[in-house]
């Protein structure tokens, strides 16, 4: 079966985690689902690309010339010829039949852009707390195949490729951390739906190779960038205050974060585009209900299924 006849391409993002991605690709190749696989290697220095090609000669490996962070996924989607793309990190793996079921659901719901999976963590398969928050979403969900969201998990979602490309994919400046938030707002602004679908399951075995302080810093910076790129002025100011308070608690100060965020000011001014009122109403409802916090940014902060901070 050619990749034009399949419905789902799995795009795996990796950086300097050779053994983990080799294991993940092996597991994905054993799935009964008819899928196409693509690995985007974010300029690894540990021989990841060569090891993958040696172990799986027919695997499509995209070796990025430099570390693109989350935007490396854009390369995989651009290569795909299937209508749907399932994202996977090197320490996650889809459960059997999950992707075939996801394709069936997306076939039936043409305005749904993204299905966010239930994430089972570790050998014991405990449900990630983020999934519990998604299951409580107060957003109107009539006619949708699950709870409506204003965000998704980068490494645990199945997406309509055309919607991803229409929204521009992941912004290259964000690198990693809350990178889903901007894309989620742009999808919603274009009229697409995002849905939590717990019957679709992915497994996550957290990698020990994580730089938590660096990730928190980038996450906070990207939250500020998203706010000033897409939110009305007062909401952007409110978000800045909220992020500032958290930065003082988690990062020990706000000024380094401000300086990092200000470096993006020239292109932020040029690319600022406030989302429609109906999207802001969804966001405020989530805020008022204290469910999912601010949507995709909060999910990214707590989610183990996001990319490694080195990417």
Convert 174-188 into a string of H (helix), E (strand) and C (coil).
CCCCCHHHHHHHHHH
Per-residue model confidence as pLDDT tens for the chain (311 residues) = 656 579 999 999 999 999 999 999 999 999 999 999 999 999 999 999 999 999 999 999 999 999 999 999 999 999 999 999 999 999 999 999 999 999 999 999 999 999 999 999 988 889 999 999 999 999 999 999 999 999 999 999 999 999 999 999 999 999 999 999 999 999 999 999 999 999 999 999 887 766 677 889 999 999 999 999 999 999 999 999 999 998 988 888 889 999 999 999 999 999 999 999 999 999 999 987 653 343 444 444 434 333 332 33
DSSP, res 196: E
**The whole model's pTM is what?**
0.90
Total domains, the chain: 1
Tell me which residue range forms the domain holding 117: 1-311
* Strands 84-89, 157-160: pairing kind: antiparallel
**Would you state the pLDDT for residue 2?**
59
pLDDT at residue number 211: 65
Q: State the CATH number of the domain containing residue 62.
A: 3.90.550.10
Q: Could you tell me the CA-to-CA distances from 169 to 15, 70, 116, 188, 287 in Å, in that order?
A: 19, 9, 16, 13, 25
Which residues, including other chains, have CB under 8 Å from residue 47's CB and lie 6 or more apart? 18
What is the reported pLDDT for 158?
Answer: 98
Classify the C-alpha dihedral 211-212-214-219 as positive or negative: positive
Task: Quote the CA–CA distance of 121 and 304 in Å, as a whole number.
Answer: 8
Give the per-residue pLDDT at 208.
73
How far is 52 from 179, CA to CA, in rounded Å? 26
Residue 210 pLDDT: 63
Please report the pLDDT score of residue 306 as a whole number: 39
């Amino acid at each position: 079966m050619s990749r034009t006849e399949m419905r789902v391409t799995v795009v795996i993002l990796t950086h300097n985690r050779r053994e983990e991605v080799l294991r993940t690709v092996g597991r994905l190749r054993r799935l009964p689902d008819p899928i196409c696989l693509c690995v985007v290697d974010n300029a690894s220095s540990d021989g990841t690309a060569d090891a993958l090609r040696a172990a799986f000669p027919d695997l499509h490996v995209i070796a990025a010339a430099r570390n693109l962070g989350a935007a490396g996924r854009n390369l995989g989607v651009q290569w795909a010829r299937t209508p749907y793309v399932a994202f996977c990190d090197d320490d996650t793996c889809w459960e059997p039949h999950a992707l075939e079921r996801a394709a069936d659901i997306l076939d039936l719901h043409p305005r749904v852009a993204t299905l966010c999976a239930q994430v089972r963590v570790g050998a014991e398969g405990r449900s990630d707390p983020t999934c519990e928050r998604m299951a409580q979403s107060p957003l109107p969900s009539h006619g949708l195949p699950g709870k409506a969201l204003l965000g998704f998990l980068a490494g645990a979602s199945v997406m309509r490729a055309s919607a991803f490309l229409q929204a521009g994919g992941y912004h290259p400046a964000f690198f990693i951390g809350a990178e889903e938030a901007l894309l989620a707002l742009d999808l919603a602004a274009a009229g697409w739906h995002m849905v939590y679908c717990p019957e679709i399951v992915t497994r996550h075995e957290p990698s020990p190779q994580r730089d938590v302080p660096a990730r928190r810093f980038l996450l906070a910076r990207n939250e500020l960038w998203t706010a000033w790129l897409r939110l009305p002025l007062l909401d952007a100011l409110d978000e800045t205050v909220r992020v500032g308070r958290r930065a003082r608690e988690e990062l020990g100060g706000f000024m380094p974060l401000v300086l990092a965020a200000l470096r993006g000011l020239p292109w932020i001014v040029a690319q600022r585009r406030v989302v429609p009122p109906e999207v802001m109403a969804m966001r405020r409802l989530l805020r008022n209900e204290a469910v999912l916090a601010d949507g995709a940014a909060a999910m990214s902060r707590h989610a183990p299924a996001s990319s490694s901070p080195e990417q």
